[in-house]
Amino acid sequence: MKAISNLLLVFNLQQQTDRRVVSPATSLLENIPFLSSNPLNLNNNKRSQEQRNELVKELLNKAKEVGQVGSLASEEDRELLEALAEKIVPFSDPNPAKYPLEGEHRLVYSAAPGASSGRVFGNVVGKVTQFFENDQIFYNRVTFGPLMIALQAKREIKNASAIKVSFLETNFSLFGNVFSQKQAGGGGVWKVRFVGKVQDEDGNEKLVRIMETPSLFILEQPLN
C-alpha cells in the first residue's frame, strides 16, 4: 500500500475597439466565440467550428489508437499527438483556465510516466478520471475494478491559461468504502492549452480539454 501511495503522489493530471456606439446586447454577442450578427462572420465562424471539430476528432482518434499511456507509445506517435494538439490550440474558447468545470472527465491520453496515466503496477493500467466536486476541489481517480485510488486536489486560477494545483489527500477505497487515507503534498502549475465543446461524427457533444503539466494531457467529458 505504501508503494501505491508513493506512486500516487506523482499522479497529477499535469486550457480594435472601434468608436461606434453599440448596445450591451450587441457587444455581448460579438464577444461570444463563433457568434456574430454579421452574415460573413457567421459563415466564417461556422467554418471555424467545423474545422475545430475535425481537428479535435483527428486528435482523439489518434490518442485512442495509441492508448492513454503515452510512455508505452512510440516516439513517433508521441510527437504526432503533440503536433496535432498544437494545431488545435488557436481554436480554444477564450480564457481556457477559467472555463467552469463539473462532473466526471475521462483521461484519453497522458504523456506523463507513472500513475498519472493510470499505469500504477508495471504494465497494469487502470481507468483514469478527473471528478470535480466544485470550482476548487477535484479528484484524480484511478480504478482497478472495485479498487479506487483518489487524489484530492485544489485548483486556483492563476491567469487566463494557467491554474495552480495543490494535492491534499490520497484516499483508497474498495467497493466504495474508504479503508485508508493519507495526507498528500506537492502540486504545480498546469497550462490549459485548449477547452471547448465539439461534436463527433454521430452528432454527440463533448467537452475536450488539452493541458500541459508540462506533459501533454487530453481529457473528454460526454455532454449528451
The 10 Å Cβ neighbour count of residue 114 is 18
Indicate yes or no: pTM above 0.85.
Answer: no
Q: Going residue by residue through the chain (224 aa), what tens digit of pLDDT does each one get?
A: 444 444 444 344 333 333 333 333 333 333 444 444 444 444 678 888 999 999 999 999 999 999 999 989 999 999 999 999 999 999 999 999 999 999 999 999 999 987 888 887 777 899 999 999 999 999 999 999 999 999 999 999 999 999 999 999 999 999 999 999 999 989 999 999 999 999 887 888 999 999 999 999 999 999 98
Strand 187-199 to 216-222 pairing: unpaired
* Nearest partner of 59 among 108, 130, 116, judged by Cα: 108
Backbone angles phi and psi of 176, in degrees to 5: 85, 0
Q: Is the peptide bond before 146 cis (omega within 30 degrees of 0)?
A: no
Whether the CB-CB separation of 170 and 8 falls below 8 Å is answered with yes
Q: How many helices (H) and strands (E) does the chain have?
A: 4, 11
- Per-residue b or e along 169-202, where b marks 16 or more CB atoms closer than 10 Å to that residue's CB: ebbbbeeeeeeeebebeebeebbbbbbbbbbeee
The 10 Å Cβ neighbour count of residue 25 is 9
